[in-house]
């Protein structure tokens, strides 16, 4: 942690730490602004970006008066002083007054901004897990080379980070990520294959953006998270497991070499992991979520993953193990297939079919440079796109 951040945490700080928030208008973005509003003594938003939602971004800009505002999509009504185009993500992430960048963009579109912030030695509070799936080696190496901190916002990874506090890598036996199981946890395979958009958008425990909500229904999200955990914590794939936990109260487990297991728990609110990513390794007082009441929870239950009904989990983990460009292909094919499902041009079952085909055809592409990974990403999108066009 930089001395800058540390000074702010003791609460005596005159100048709060500047935060750039990418994807400010989304589910994580708006949760992050609620956290920042409660923590005005410690943190101040200095840059905000959105993709297309000009009206929501303008309202946030009016409320928080950041010195930089950026909108990716062309929009005639956007104020002239706003940054525009995809470059605005990198501009916001490089803002000189931002010691911390919260990356809450959805998809591989967040990658360049993550890298730009890390190259400048900033802390990246990372919700944008796709960044690590596309280019995990490069992103973690960039962080190391520039002494920058990559702190996960994802609730499972935040849980693991909290359980690992003060421990050494050789003391860790296994990471166990929990998964809610999504809306189709108990459905038979045939019914899942024909699930509608409305069915898939009904997540049982979390309110999130539409892309990650579909990923939670296919369990692709858990595959992305296994890959994310591999890179964030440097743990090999054969020591990362997944267990279904429908209540989403235990956010993950760490099993240690002596057989002891730690779990982190709390009500399902992303405001907790967002705040922790800002203050890690310290904790600060906050009253953003309802008090924890174990009795009101009722039971906590656990189940095996039904891999046969949810092939995306196995496909994604296999891509992670393959390495090279395979995780980038998995991610890009999934992004494209989910977009098609949301647009009504692909069935739910079609998502895993398309992603499986893309991995079969493109999974061995080289992935040793950023350029190679971006080419694989584009090829995978095109692969899924052209198949859908052939059949419609
Ligand atoms: P949302 O769809 O709700 O929000 C996405 C944000 O990114 C919006 O501000 C959107 O702008 C912006 N955006 C979308 N596409 C682009 C693009 N191509 N370039 C620049 N900005 C873009 O997503 P979530 O907040 O749910 O998720 C964000 C990230 O956090 C994802 O990686 C997700 O996996 C991860 N995450 C989310 C969790 C959650 O609870 N929501 C939990 C754990 C991880 P606009 O509003 O203008 O479209
Ligand atoms: Mg998660």
Instruction: Give the Cβ contact number of residue 245 at 10 Å.
Output: 23
Distance 331 CA to ligand 1 centre (A): 15
CB within 5 A of ion ligand 2: which residues? 154-156
Best CA proximity match to 49, nearest among 2, 11, 8, 103: 103
Beta-bridge partner residues of 263: 253
Q: Starting from the CA of residue 274, give the closest ligand.
A: 1
- Could you say which DSSP state residue 154 is in? S
Give me the residue spans of the domains in the chain: 3-152, 167-267+297-391
- Return the C-alpha torsion angle 115, 117, 123, 125, nearest 10: -70
Backbone torsions φ then ψ of 108, nearest 5 degrees: -60, -15
Distance CA 348, CA 353 (A): 9
Ligand 1 binding pocket (C-beta < 6 A) is 23-29, 50-53, 72, 89, 104-107, 109, 127-130, 154, 206, 208-209, 211-212, 270
The residue whose two tokens read 């994580």 is 28
Q: Report the nearest-CA residue for atom 18 of ligand 1.
A: 109
Which ligand lies nearest to the CA atom of residue 57 in the structure? 1
Q: What pLDDT does 2 receive?
A: 46
The reported pLDDT for the residue numbered 206 is 85
- Partnered with residue 3 across adjacent β-strands are none
DSSP H helices, the chain, are 3-9, 27-38, 54-64, 87-93, 111-119, 130-145, 155-164, 189-193, 197-200, 210-218, 220-233, 271-279, 294-297, 311-322, 326-343, 348-362, 370-391
Residue found by looking up tokens 């080696």 in the block: 137
- In this predicted structure, what is the pLDDT of residue 3? 45
Q: How far apart are CA 276 and CA 288, in angstroms?
A: 12
Does the reported pTM lie above 0.85? yes
Nearest ligand to the C-alpha of residue 248? 2
Looking at the CA of 331, name the nearest ligand. Answer: 1
Parallel, antiparallel, or unpaired: how do β-strands 261-265 and 250-256 relate? antiparallel
Give distance in angstroms: CA of 28 to centre of ligand 1: 7
Closest of 107, 105, 113, 136 to residue 24, by C-alpha? 105
How many angstroms does the Cα of residue 208 sit away from the middle of ligand 1? 9
Q: Quote the ligand 1 centre to 47 CA distance (angstroms).
A: 16
Q: Which fold does the domain 3-152 belong to in CATH?
A: Rossmann fold (3.40.50)
Closest atom, ligand 1, to C-alpha of 212: 34
Determine which residue's CA is closest to atom 41 belonging to ligand 1: 208
**Helix (H/G/I), strand (E/B), else coil: 83:** strand
CATH of domain 167-267+297-391: 1.10.1740.10
pLDDT of residue 391: 54
Q: What is the distance between the alpha carbons of residues 70 and 85, in angstroms, rounded to a whole number?
A: 8
What's the 173 CA to ligand 1 centre distance in angstroms? 33
Q: How close is the Cα of 14 to the center of ligand 2, in Å?
A: 34
Place of tokens 């066009």: 389
Q: Ligand 1, residue 28: give the atom nearest the CA.
A: 25
Which residue do the tokens 């500047």 mark?
Answer: 18
Distance, CA of 24 to CA of 42 (rounded, Å): 19
d(CA 237, CA 198) in angstroms, rounded, equals: 34
> Are 145 and 265 a contacting pair, CB within 8 Å?
no
Structure tokens at 168: 């050494």
pLDDT in tens, 152-201: 999 999 999 999 999 999 999 999 999 999 999 999 999 999 999 999 99
* Signed CA dihedral, 356, 379, 182, 292: sign only: positive
* pLDDT on residue 26: 98
Looking at residue 388, its pLDDT comes to 61
8 Å CB contact between 224 and 216: no
pLDDT in tens, 242-253: 999 999 999 999
Which protein residue has the closest C-alpha to ligand 1 atom 43?
154
Distance separating alpha carbons of residues 327 and 314, to the nearest angstrom: 12
pLDDT beneath 50: ranges in the chain: 1-7, 392
């Amino acid at each position: 942690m930089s001395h800058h951040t540390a000074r702010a945490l003791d609460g005596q700080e005159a100048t709060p730490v500047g935060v750039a928030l990418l994807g400010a208008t989304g589910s994580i973005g708006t949760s992050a602004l609620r956290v920042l509003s409660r923590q005005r003594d410690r943190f101040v938003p200095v840059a905000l970006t959105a993709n297309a939602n000009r009206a929501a971004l303008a309202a946030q800009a009016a409320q928080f008066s950041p010195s930089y505002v950026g909108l990716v999509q062309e929009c005639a009504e956007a104020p002239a002083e706003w940054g525009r185009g995809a470059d605005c993500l990198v501009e916001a992430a490089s803002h000189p007054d931002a010691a911390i960048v919260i990356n809450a963009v959805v998809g591989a579109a967040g990658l360049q901004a993550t890298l730009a912030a890390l190259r400048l030695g900033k802390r990246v509070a990372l919700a944008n897990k796709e960044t690590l799936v596309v280019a995990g080696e490069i992103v973690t190496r960039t962080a190391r080379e520039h002494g920058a901190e990559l702190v996960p916002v994802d609730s499972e990874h935040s849980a693991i980070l909290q359980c690992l506090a003060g421990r050494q890598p050789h003391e860790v036996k296994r990471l166990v990520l929990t998964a809610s199981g999504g809306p189709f946890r108990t459905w038979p395979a045939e019914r899942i294959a024909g699930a509608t958009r409305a069915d898939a958008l009904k997540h049982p425990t979390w309110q999130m953006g539409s892309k990650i909500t579909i990923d939670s229904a296919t369990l692709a999200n858990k595959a992305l998270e296994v890959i994310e955990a591999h890179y964030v914590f440097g743990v090999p794939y054969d020591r990362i497991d997944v267990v279904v936990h429908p209540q989403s109260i235990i956010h993950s487990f760490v099993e240690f070499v002596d057989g002891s297991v730690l779990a982190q728990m709390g009500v399902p609110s992303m405001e907790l992991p967002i705040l922790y990513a800002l203050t890690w390794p310290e904790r600060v007082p906050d009253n953003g979520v309802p008090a924890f009441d174990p009795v009101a929870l009722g039971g906590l239950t656990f189940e095996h993953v039904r891999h046969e009904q949810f092939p995306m989990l196995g496909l994604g983990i296999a891509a992670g193990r393959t390495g090279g460009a395979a995780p980038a292909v998995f991610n890009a094919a999934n992004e494209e297939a989910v977009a098609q499902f949301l647009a009504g041009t692909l069935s739910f079952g079609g998502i895993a079919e398309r992603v499986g085909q893309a991995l079969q055809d493109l999974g061995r592409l080289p992935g040793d440079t950023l350029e190679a990974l971006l080419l694989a990403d584009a090829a995978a999108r095109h692969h899924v796109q052209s198949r859908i066009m052939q059949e419609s």
